Amino acid sequence: MSAAVRRAGSPNQETLAPFLPPELEREIFLLTARSYRGVSTRLMLVASRVKVWIETFVYKTVVLRGPGHAFRFMYVLANRSPEFAKTHVKALCIRPQIPHSLIIQLLTVCSGLESLALWVPSQSETPTELVSLLSSLPLALLSLNLTAIISPSHPKPVLQNHPVFENLTHLDVVNHWALWTSSLGIERLPHVTHMAFRFWSRGSVNAALSLILRESPALQVLILLADFVVIPGARRYLEKEGIEDSRVVIMKHLRDADEWETMERETEGMWHRAERIVRWRRLTRAGPFDFPQESS
């Protein structure tokens, strides 16, 4: 690595043959970028081939931490070729503070998104433009504040006929009230295999959860994210209501951004952890509230 970095100052850096096989050199640089994300931009200065490797990693998952960060990110994309954002940005986290007009620009440019977190509240009575953009994306994973795309005047949101949800496999709903009144038609989404909801100590979700678990055609994992102090109550609630299903995994939840920061680092996130727990339960014939020792 030190030899490669020393070459960065040489005027003939691209004419020098690498000391290591390209595959190994690439893995070393990517491992460094994953472990020390803050040095990624400096690593790009080593050589043009390294810049290509690191850019693929850096832009694959982007967590926008505020309006300033979002505007800078949009500025960078606007100065690249039109295809750059489409081919490089595959996962994008948009936090509540990001202005609506900037969201529209970002989703227009990042047209190859496969994973998206959209946590902004309602900013329009008729979010037609936003819905149209979301429907045009090849999304498989969506973490969503429902009010972003469903009009506040809509008395009872129904998702099964909504174009945004047609092709999703992973759906994370961040609204705490999501299952209090109905299942929202989620059980009729044909391709969703993984679901996540926030669990509060108030509000009855028995009817909605039971319907989703019984009727969802492809469901493999259903995660209930709860504050640490609420987790024991969540288990007691499910037991009392007779919801004993090995696919239901209760997990500690602190911040919505935590999951996306693990994605950014390319470490194990909640979906993979839940899959592992469900798989362990089935292999060991464990109970629906049991966890492998390292996951408890």
**What tokens does 93 get?**
């986290």
Evaluate whether residue 40 is within a structural domain.
Answer: yes
Looking at the structure, do residues 50 and 87 belong to the same domain, yes or no?
no
- The reported pLDDT for the residue numbered 209 is 93
Q: What is the pLDDT of residue 245?
A: 95
Among residues 60, 84, 102, which one ends one of the domains? 60
CA 110 to chain centre: 15
User: What pLDDT, on a 0 to 100 scale, did the predictor assign at position 67?
Assistant: 95
Residues 142 and 24 in one domain: no
In this structure, the dihedral spanned by the alpha carbons of residues 113, 191, 202 and 124, taken in order and rounded to 10 degrees, is 40
> Residue-wise pLDDT tens for the chain (296 aa)?
444 444 444 444 444 556 777 777 666 666 666 666 666 666 666 666 766 666 777 788 899 989 999 999 999 999 989 899 999 999 999 999 999 999 999 999 999 999 999 999 877 666 889 999 999 999 999 999 998 988 666 656 778 888 999 999 999 999 988 888 789 999 999 999 999 999 875 667 888 999 999 999 999 999 999 988 889 888 888 998 899 999 999 999 888 888 888 877 777 899 999 999 999 999 999 999 999 986 54
What residues contact residue 18 under an 8 Å CB cut-off, 6+ apart?
4, 25
Residues 75 and 210 both lie in one domain = yes
| Total domains present in the chain | 2
Q: Which of 11, 29, 60 is the last residue of a domain?
A: 60
pLDDT at position 213: 96
Residues 182 and 98 in one domain: yes
Rg (CA), the chain: 22
Q: Examine residue 284 and state whether it is found in any structural domain, yes or no.
A: yes
In 120-192, at which residue ranges do the beta strands (DSSP E only) sit? 141-144, 170-173
The amino acid sitting at 15 is T
17, 45, 60 - which closes a domain: 60
Q: How much is the pTM?
A: 0.83
Q: Give the list of residues 6+ apart from residue 180 with CB closer than 8 angstroms, or none.
A: 203, 204, 205, 208
Which pLDDT value is given to residue 158?
78
231 and 95 within one domain: yes
Are 56 and 91 within one domain? Answer: no
CA–CA dist 54, 43 (Å, integer):
7
Assess whether 266 and 207 both reside in one domain. yes
pLDDT digits (tens, 9 = 90+) for 182-210: 899 999 999 999 999 998 756 678 889 99
Q: Is residue 294 assigned to a domain? A: no
Same domain, 139 and 241: yes
- What's the confidence (pLDDT) of residue 18? 60
Residue-level pLDDT at 11: 46
Domain that holds residue 14: 1-60
Largest CA distance in the chain: 71
Indicate if 237 and 102 belong to the same structural domain: yes
Residue 147 lies in a domain: yes
| β-pair partners for 195 | 171, 222
121, 97 Cβ separation under 8 angstroms: no
Q: What is the CATH number of the domain that holds 171?
A: 3.80.10
- Neighbouring CB atoms inside 10 A of 12's CB total 7
Is the separation of the CB atoms in 112 and 138 below 8 Å?
A: yes
Residues 172 and 72 in one domain: yes
